[in-house]
Structure 1
């Protein structure tokens, strides 16, 4: 390249860009002249936005409001930042007071409601092509004014001078592939107003150093992507992103579920990988934009709320202060502290109290005749008695013990109750509570005095792992009003003993339950391998009926990699694990998209040591906060519930599950193995693209 050549190129590029702007300005002047009879404010904002066509934006001006003859929509601005529904006002003395919009001394909040209603109509249009409701944004823009954006429910109000910078900060929310389909449905449902002149659309972006090409004639039937092609292109882009971005990906086929109105408690359920949690996240974001008040997103799993909070912050940063993500026990603890209710939870001390109660009351009782490990009775007290909030033996005497297959006669149930009573008395004598007590205390306090500032909605993830008391607590917080309570989960992924039904908890979701059947997460080979583990196990899903383990499911993605290693000893398995992780890294896979999961914390610690000694960077799941990093996540399967990874390693497995324990009956052993298989299924279905299974012979 000769001297000065690079400067010449830059000069040519700048000149060409200037010519584009001049051309766009001349074009806008023509549009302004054609709309001289229109609103000066609309013309002013239209002129401001029209040059953005060079960056992929299309301005639809003066459109007809669907369902009306005369009402109009000022501007629809469609581009990489989403669908902006703009109502232009040429007002002065604008301010917000008491959460309402005022024009001088006049309450002007009807205009806020108007633009919100138009946005809802736009949402309905774009939902049919799978666009999430969050990408439709209602805006009140005030011509000639300058003030920072204000939030009025789901509507954003701002001055003219802040509009373009605000749009630019939104970044890319819609791909170039999706924009034609979005424009098509909006042009169909929001046609030009009868009095509107032709609108010039310039959505083509060209390099500034080249002349603008003449648009090619494209037959109408070929102008748009098909729905399948659009879905495929969106899915491909999401798959290429880090796993943390994937966890916020809402498949187009599920967009309508996010904005459904339900007139009472509702439920979303379905097999692993069907997008239950991501629907919950988008639902929380949608509710945050459409109604006042705070929302609670809660789960039994302690890791999940932290990760989902970070995911939500990327999904809807403007609403992070509206949604509280929390574990159910952490919420109960904070609530009791705020109310001054005394509680002291000490797991080690509580465990000691149980064993002392067993030695004094249980060991020589009728329970000694039942061939189960002593820990079975500890689980019985926690999940069946305290988990259901039982306080009188008559409630327990004839109870259907959902999820417990070892039968108990009356004498044995009386012995369980005496053990429970002795344990409870010992706890109280020491000023202690266990985890189940925490929820019982919180429920009693909420019923005694409901929240002064109630939640607008409560969303419950992994609901199948909660106790009846836990669900009753959250029901008391969310109530029976429209969209007040959403339960998300899958009984096939229950990894704790015991259970209950929603009818027991006093919750009805009849007519408001959605069953998902399409797996978007797991590639076909992975989900086939996982389902085979639980296919023969019928399960209860918070109701009185049993479902077959091999459920109806469609799989959106073919392929995937499953690897099984059968190692003769621990050293051989360790070497195979290190080699597999190394091979993935060498192939270009980010280690931050991988996880090593085990059934116990002891195994997690052991295999973390194996990888650490091999120089593999790690992050424990209890420290993982949902941020993209280059380290393998390590932890238990229970801590990984609700999370997703591109590749999962499950070392230390044994064919057929764990062995029979001393004194354990075959019935009790099979009950325990069923829970183990469900847990293994959960671990396997965390894997999106690759699954590595390491068995010890």
Structure 2
């Protein structure tokens, strides 16, 4: 490995010239896109052209701090510069190769033992967008050695949103990123292994490789909260992908206004997979047996459909509501429309048998006739999802019928709440998921071609079903860490979650090498693993970070923060939710510009972070205030503490006024 920073070095001079050329070409590409004008064909074509041009300009948007390329590969006969997006010259000659292109793969996968056709891999060092150094690794010669520039990029101070990792993707990460679209993957990723970034980069790779298909079906990213999404929202646009939906489960299922909260036991029960059966019974159980014949108007006469045939039609349709193949399940609203058409087609056959020839239009009018509609209203009534769930939760008789043999009396009692009007009902987040389940039974939910689910270890079975409904025939990237499972319904392994997401055969791929969390910090947090995840492989750190951990039995907190602020980077002061106001007040009183991290995820360089919002975030320095209080604040408090202790990239300071949790005592 050879690194050069000498300004007069001819290679460095040549690479700087190529960097300037690439920047000029990217500017020319944007100018060419701006110059595209409407040919005046029609309004629709003009609108589509304008939208396509806007998307292209966003994809080509310049980021002054992001250079056009970050690496280079040499095969001996060809040289390729690797960057975040493809850059070409005016004559179409490639100047920079997109990191997702097949010819970029060796940059991430090549090793001394398997050079993959390369003789050299070159990495570049940048400062403020300027090329300052380069580092050459000769492949196929000697053993693999560590890259200082790679380590510097991984350790670079953080501020603001999450950045992409295209310059530092490791072989085990790249194998997940480039997995085929048809393959669903579950990533069990320890802290600092880059699982979130890997999932986002896989989405970017799939959009690049299967752009035409995914442009029609779309890509969805589901995160745990809005603060997390705010943190990651710039990663995909930086990679040139702007048409990706990013949301939370709460936003995905927001069919009713959430005003209330559930006790933990009630929330666990509402999130139980058995609730799907209860809701299915409540909906489909409202279908009545036909009691009399129906007279259907057809071509000026009324055709009698006998009750025996009506019963058969209804029974056949109800059975289709239980079809084993999800692609063939009949939705309730479609069943109602199909029942109306069955009556009309019956009358049509009768008319044809009598020598008539009713048209398709006449058959459709018969299906919409008052007689047929009245029959459907009586036998197969139209239902509203919120109304059905409200009746289930407030009417003991309705709940008892639907839950018989599924929920016992005590569980039914937990679900019931005082009766009241539908308008103004105290809906909770778990209720909203139930309403979404019923809405999915009523009508087909639009699906995506690929869904990325982060922090999936915290999903309830019913939340998993809500995501699965949006998946259609597409594939999944499931991201999470069982050791960081903090919800009351969290499972001990991935099997239940994958079943709920509709992909039970999905392979679980572990990521155990931590790149972001220093070794001292990770080993300290790993002391909790025997209690919170005894069967999980212990995470290891790539870098030691000597001096990165400080455990102090006293403060004062402002002095600790001032000491950390002397080094550039972001600082997160994490405490139990109940202590946020007190901690923030102490920092502000000391003249420190602290602000509370809220759901919008934006709190500046010095953030006071409620422990319940820390998951998925990272800061250069983290101060954990009173870890015992964090552990005691909730039933899975040790899991929450493990999350909190693994948010630091450079330095972790643990401040405790009382005793530490037993597992953390040296």
TM-score by length of 1: 0.55
Partner residue in 2 for 1:638: 612
CA contact (8 A) 2:458 2:489 kept: no
Query: Which residue is 1:436 aligned to?
Result: 430
1:324-377 superposed Cα distances (whole Å, 9 cap, x missing partner): 2211211322xx4xxxxxx23212xxx5xx7xxxxxxxxxxxxxxxxxxxx453
Following superposition, the deviation at residue 54 of structure 1 comes to: 6.0
Distance in 2, matches of 1:242 and 1:190, equals: 33
- Separation in 2, partners of 1:79, 1:179: 22
Contact 1:618 1:633 in 2 (8 A): yes
Structure-1 residue corresponding to 2:257: 344
Alpha-carbon distance in structure 2 between the residues aligned to 1:512 and 1:81:
42
Structure 1 residues 603 and 224, CA, compared in 2 at 3 Å: closer, same or farther?
A: farther
Q: 1:268·1:513 contact (CA, 8 Å) conserved in 2?
A: yes
How far apart, in 2, do the equivalents of 1:411 and 1:389 lie? 8
CA contact (8 A) 1:268 1:488 kept: yes
* Contact 1:520 1:556 (8 Å CA) reproduced: yes
Q: Is 2:235 the counterpart of 1:311?
A: yes
In the alignment, the residues of structure 2 paired with residue 140 and residue 462 of structure 1 have an alpha-carbon distance, to the nearest angstrom, of: 38
Does residue 532 of structure 2 align to residue 552 of structure 1? no
Matches for 1:521-600 after TM superposition, within 5 Å: 521-538=516-533, 547-548=534-535, 551-558=537-544, 559-567=546-554, 573=555, 576-585=556-565, 588-590=566-568, 593-600=570-577
User: Is 1:518 equivalent to 2:466 in the alignment?
Assistant: no
Q: Unaligned regions of 5+ residues in structure 2, if any?
A: 1-7, 27-36, 46-70, 100-105, 126-135, 283-404, 659-666
Given that 1:298 and 1:461 are in contact with CA atoms closer than 8 Å, whether structure 2 keeps it comes out as: yes
Q: Which residue, out of 570, 589, 594, partners 1:618?
A: 594
- Counterparts in 2 of 1:181 and 1:449: CA distance versus 1, 3 Å: closer
Which of 237, 252, 276 does residue 170 from structure 2 map onto?
Answer: 252
- Per the TM alignment, residue 492 of structure 1 is displaced from its structure 2 partner at its CA by 1.3
Equivalent residue number for residue 210 of structure 2: 291
CA RMSD of aligned residues (A): 5.1
Deviation string, structure 1 residues 300-345 (Cα, Å, up to 9, x no partner): 22211111103333x31x322x112211211322xx4xxxxxx232
Give the Cα separation in 2 of the matches to 1:389 and 1:636: 37
In the aligned structure 2, how far is the partner of 1:389 from the partner of 1:639? 33
- Quote the Cα distance in structure 1 between the aligned partners of 2:228 and 2:617: 7
Are 2:265 and 1:377 equivalent residues in the alignment? yes
Provide the rounded CA distance (Å) in 2 between the counterparts of 1:658 and 1:528: 22
Q: Any gaps of 5 or more consecutive residues in structure 1?
A: 1-15, 21-51, 59-76, 83-92, 100-122, 144-158, 172-177, 192-202, 206-218, 337-342, 355-374, 395-409, 539-546, 568-572, 660-671
Q: CA deviation at 1:94?
A: 14
- Please give the residue correspondences for 1:444-459 in structure 2 after superposition, counting only pairs within 5 Å: 444-451=438-445, 454-459=447-452
Which SS does the other structure have where 2:416 is aligned?
A: helix
1:466 alignment counterpart = 459
What are the residue-to-residue correspondences of 1:219-230 with 2, within 5 Å?
227-230=144-147
Partners in 1 of 2:275 and 2:627 — Cα distance?
31
Deviation at 1:278, TM superposition (A): 0.9
Retained in 2: the 8 A contact 1:310–1:625? no
SS in 2 for 1:495: coil
The answer to whether structure 1 residue 479 and structure 2 residue 484 are counterparts is no
- The CA deviation at 1:526 is 0.6
Aligned to 2:185: 266
Output one character per residue of 1:169-193: Cα deviation in whole Å (capped at 9) or x when no partner.
x99xxxxxx99999999998599xx
CA-to-aligned-CA distance 1:111-150 (integer Å, 9 cap, x gap): xxxxxxxxxxxx99999xxxx998375577774xxxxxxx
Whether the 8 Å CA contact 2:219–2:451 is kept in 1: the answer is yes
Deviations 1:199-242 (A, max 9, x none): xxxx999xxxxxxxxxxxxx996998974333x42121331243
Contact 1:126-1:182 at 8 Å conserved across structures: no
1-side partners of 2:559 and 2:223: how far apart? 36
What is the aligned partner in structure 1 of residue 366 from structure 2?
A: none
Q: Is the 8 A contact 1:53 1:204 kept in 2?
A: no
Asked whether the equivalents of residues 562 and 692 of structure 1 are also in contact (C-alpha less than 8 Å), the reply is: yes
Q: Counterpart in 2 of 1:109?
A: none
1:55 alignment partner in structure 2: 16
Whether contact under 8 Å (1:270, 1:515) holds in the other structure is: yes
CA contact (8 A) 1:276 1:489 kept: yes
Q: Does 1:679 align with 2:640?
A: yes
Query: 1:54-453 residue pairs with structure 2 within 5 A?
Result: 55=16, 57=18, 135=83, 137=85, 143=91, 189=117, 227-230=144-147, 232-244=148-160, 247-249=163-165, 250-253=168-171, 254-261=173-180, 263-292=182-211, 293=215, 294-313=218-237, 315-316=238-239, 318-320=240-242, 322-333=243-254, 336=255, 343-347=256-260, 351=261, 375-384=263-272, 390-391=278-279, 413-422=408-417, 425-426=419-420, 428=422, 430-451=424-445
Q: Which residue is equivalent to 1:696?
A: 657
CA contact (8 A) 2:619 2:649 kept: yes
Corresponding residue of 1:365? none
Instruction: Sort the Cα spacing of 1:126 and 1:235 in 2 relative to 1 into closer, same or farther, 3 A.
Output: farther
Rounded to whole Å, the distance in 1 between the matches of 2:87 and 2:630 is 59
Paired residue total = 456
> CA 1:493–1:126 in 2, change beyond 3 Å: closer, same or farther?
farther
